[in-house]
Amino acid sequence: MDKPVLVDSHCHLDYLQEKGVLEQAMTNAPDYDVYYMNTISTNMAEFPKVLKIANSYDNVFSCVGVHPCHIKDHPLVTYDELYEQTKHSKVIGIGESGIDLFHDKTTLDLQEKSFRTHISVARDTGLPLVVHTRGADYDTIRILKDEYEKGAFPAVIHCFSASRELAEESIKMGFYISLSGIITFPKGDVVCDIVKDLPIEKLLVETDSPYLAPVPNRGKSNQPAYTKYTAEKLALVKNVDYLTISSQTTQNFFTLFKKAVK
Ligand SMILES: [Zn+2]
Ligand SMILES: [Zn+2]
């Protein structure tokens, strides 16, 4: 029988490095079937650290972008700045970018401008866009559909906790949906109910480490290893076995992130 292989499709390994727990997390990961990780940039100032981590480990990939909650602190990232970084072999996607009105309602215009810049680079490079959306279903759908009509681009809605409508509109555009530890939380039932009806070949799993540790480690610092708990829960939700979920979500990851070389 094949052994299970998982990918943590979205984590922040630079934050683990700051806490001094990166080495241990890398050691733990294979014990929990996690053999690949995608470490995600949240602002351009920190991106060199993110890239350095990806370059230090064969099984770590990275994405370049500016999180919607970080745009206030820096000048807006330009198309050329993002595009330039996609030339690195370990940069396999664009993000995370998107709209977050949960943390900040006052910067929608800036967030939208930044989001559209990220989308242009994703479209032109063919590298998947990693979408962060929180408390902003309406605007996220509006912008994604508007941009998609101008020209297709690949994308994943990361840490999915939005509405059925957002999930369905995303699937229609060929996007993927990534599930985090949220599906293991009691309030995750709402999300699980939506995920039940989504095509299994469009699903990814992630930790968003160091945030959102799944049950049974909820409240602790998260690490890529814990992708396993989310995958186990997803297997239950989709009514398939753990090995099926691990091989399917890993295959989905490498189908979406075509530049990632195993
Ligand atoms: Zn996010
Ligand atoms: Zn994130």
Q: What ligand is nearest to the CA atom of residue 41?
A: 2
Domain count, the chain: 1
| Ligand 2 center–CA 6 separation, angstroms | 18
* Structure token pair of residue 60: 């770590």
Structure confidence at residue 1 as a pLDDT band (50, 70, 90): low
> Is 218 a member of any domain?
yes
In this structure, is residue 82 part of a structural domain?
yes
Query: Mean of the pLDDT values across residues 1-11?
Result: 92
Please give the pLDDT value at position 224: 98
Cβ–Cβ < 8 Å for 70, 102 = no
Distance, CA 40 to ligand 2 centroid (Å)?
Answer: 6
C-alpha–C-alpha distance, residues 120 and 146, integer Å: 12
> CA–CA separation, 141 vs 201, rounded Å?
21
> What is the Cα–Cα distance from 147 to 161, expressed in whole angstroms?
22
Between the CA of 11 and the centroid of ligand 1 the distance, in Å, is 9
State which residues have CB under 5 angstroms from ligand 1, the bound ion: 96, 132
Q: Is residue 188 part of a domain?
A: yes
pLDDT at residue 104, rounded to an integer: 87
Residue 1 lies in a domain: no
Kindly state the average pLDDT of the residues 28-43: 98
The torsion angles phi and psi of 147, rounded to 5 degrees, stand at: -70, -35
Q: Does some domain include residue 261?
A: no
Give residue-wise pLDDT tens across range 176-232: 999 999 999 999 999 999 999 999 999 999 999 999 888 998 988 999 999 999 999
Tell me how crowded residue 165 is: count the other CB atoms within 10 A of its CB.
12
Residue 91 has pLDDT above 70, yes or no: yes
Contacts 24+ apart (CB under 8 A), 83-90: 83/121, 83/124, 83/125, 85/47, 85/51, 86/121, 86/125, 86/127, 88/51, 88/55, 88/62, 89/259, 90/51, 90/54, 90/55, 90/60, 90/61, 90/62
Domain containing residue 112: CATH number: 3.20.20.140
Supply angle C-alpha 31, 34, 37, rounded to 5: 140
**181 to 25, 105, 133, 148, 208: CA distances (angstroms):** 17, 25, 16, 29, 8
CA of 96 to the centre of ligand 1 (A): 6
Report if residue 55 sits inside a domain: yes
Q: How far is residue 208's CA from residue 79's CA, in Å, rounded to a whole number?
A: 25
What spacing in Å lies between the alpha carbon of 13 and ligand 1's midpoint? 14
Cα distance between residue 215 and residue 31, in whole Å: 18
Q: Which domain holds residue 98?
A: 6-256
Strands 60-64 and 176-179: unpaired
CA of 38 to the centre of ligand 1 (A): 13
Q: For residue 213, report the distance from its CA to the centre of ligand 1, in Å.
A: 14
Report H helices in 126-202: 137-150, 164-172, 189-195
**What backbone phi and psi angles, to 5 degrees, belong to 166?**
-65, -40
Tens digits of per-residue pLDDT, 133-179?
A: 999 999 999 999 999 999 999 999 999 999 999 999 999 999 999 99
User: In the chain, what is the greatest distance between 2 CA atoms, to the nearest angstrom?
Assistant: 53
Q: Cα of 95 to ligand 1 centre, how many Å?
A: 9
